[in-house]
Amino acid sequence: MLAENRTVLLSGPDIGPLEQEYVLAALRSGWVAPAGPDLDLFEREIADRVGVPHAVAVNSGTAALHLALLGIGVGPGDVVVVPTMTFAATANAVAYTGATPVFVDCDPATGNLDPDLLPGLLGEAKAVLTVDLYGSCADYDRILPAAERHGVPVIEDAAEALGARYAKSPYAKSPDKKSPYKNRAAGSFGRAAALSFNGNKIMTTSGGGMLLTADPELAARARHLATQARLPAEHYEHAEIGYNYRLSNLLAALGRAQLCRLDEMIERRRAVRDGYAKVFAHVDGVLLPGADDPAANCWLTGIVVDPERTGWPARDLAAHLAARNVETRPLFKPMHLQPVFAGARAVLSGAAEHLFRNGLALPSGSALTGSEVRRVLDDIAEFLEGHR
């Protein structure tokens, strides 16, 4: 097929010679059994990168979330606060424990949990899950102190945010007020955090995740549950139900190669985002949620369209791009609108639904070539030109 006509993907994996070298070396080393030296090194390297003492590599981000919730004692009958603007995995992990998610709406400018809606729930919540949506940290300056005042632990879903830091502060407008969290890495907030290395994330192990925590007991407990809760005995001894959640050594080798390239891949995604910011800069009624966050990892860049002001809805741009083999996707459909969570409690402002109805995620992957990026930007410019 002509390169010109190849579909431009939303967020495809970015794999090269370094990844091949690491995986082949692991294969040749004979460490094909799940455990092995690459797995231990991958945990150490991710922990060091994020600046957290303990890391447990698992086979998905969802598994990491599940183990984090179990690790802080979430179980049947508990209420867990979950941002409604997220991927289903966040809420599914809560459901696995038997606890009940209560969905909370988002800040319209970033899509992240709206801290103003939190206080009313902290009296009854067993835990608060935060999501660093599309690679931009949640508003920790306001969420963490509020949760702490009520003694409610926070679990950070940083599945989309490896490499991001916390920069945005509600105090930003008064620079004399310092944020204690400024510049802290995504994955270091709360009692434990979950990363994902799914194929579409900022870096991939083709499928995988990591639980991060400063609490050695929580890490040990997660490791135990992730290996079928097998007790140290020569025969197979089990005192409780466990899970088969560990990452394999071969996939950890792939992750180690990707981690070497993480900064380069983030820079690439940032350049793509800057291109979109430029092409939409003078379009009245188009907003790029979270795009003014200087410390985001720029995992996915999306737009939110106000059709009253632009004169066109987001789906028209999506159709224009689809006709030119450019993949786009709506922003996440909020959890409170999902059939599976119909009837769940939700504290709503309408912001998440607005993002869903009027949003569009644009191709953002680090594997996009320069000519693919130019092609998408030209296609958007052409659309805007025709809709002035």
Ligand X SMILES: *Cc1c(COP(=O)(O)O)cnc(C)c1O
Q: Which of 31, 42, 87, 356 binds ligand X (CB under 6 A)?
A: 87
- Amino acid at position 50, single letter: V
From residue 27, how far is each of 49, 90, 203, 243, 253 by CA, in Å? 25, 33, 20, 25, 9
Q: Are 44 and 212 in contact (CB under 8 A)?
A: no
Strands annotated E in 33-188 = 54-58, 79-83, 100-104, 127-131, 154-157
Nearest to 61 by CA among 79, 85, 87: 87
Q: How far is the CB of 61 from ligand X (least distance, A)?
A: 3
Segment near ligand X (CB under 6 A); pick from 106-114, 140-148, 153-161, 352-360: 153-161
Cβ closest to ligand X, residue 139 vs residue 379: 139
Q: Which of 130, 136, 196, 358 binds ligand X (CB under 6 A)?
A: 196
Cβ closest to ligand X, residue 336 vs residue 375: 336
What x-and-dash track marks residues 155-194 binding ligand X by CB under 6 A? --x-xx----------------------------------
Give the pairing type, strands 79-83 and 127-131: parallel
Distance (Å, rounded) from C-alpha 54 to C-alpha 337? 36
Q: Are 362 and 301 in contact (CB under 8 A)?
A: yes
Which 309-338 positions form the footprint of ligand X (CB under 6 A)?
none
What x-and-dash track marks residues 352-381 binding ligand X by CB under 6 A? ------------------------------
What x-and-dash track marks residues 36-75 binding ligand X by CB under 6 A? ------------------------xxx-------------
Q: How far is the CB of 89 from ligand X (least distance, A)?
A: 3
Q: Are 363 and 326 in contact (CB under 8 A)?
A: yes
Cβ closest to ligand X, residue 159 vs residue 279: 159
Q: Are 32 and 351 in contact (CB under 8 A)?
A: no
Cβ closest to ligand X, residue 62 vs residue 364: 62
12 forms part of the interface with ligand X (CB under 6 A): no
Q: Are 363 and 8 in contact (CB under 8 A)?
A: yes
Cβ closest to ligand X, residue 50 vs residue 317: 50
| CA-based torsion, 343, 346, 351, 356: positive or negative | negative
117 forms part of the interface with ligand X (CB under 6 A): no
What are the structure tokens assigned to 34, written together? 């799940």
Q: Which of 97, 130, 136, 198 binds ligand X (CB under 6 A)?
A: 198
86 forms part of the interface with ligand X (CB under 6 A): yes
Cβ closest to ligand X, residue 152 vs residue 251: 251
From residue 121, how far is each of 176, 253, 334 by CA, in Å? 31, 42, 19
Positions that interact with ligand X (CB under 6 A) = 60-62, 86-87, 89-90, 131, 157, 159-160, 196, 198, 209
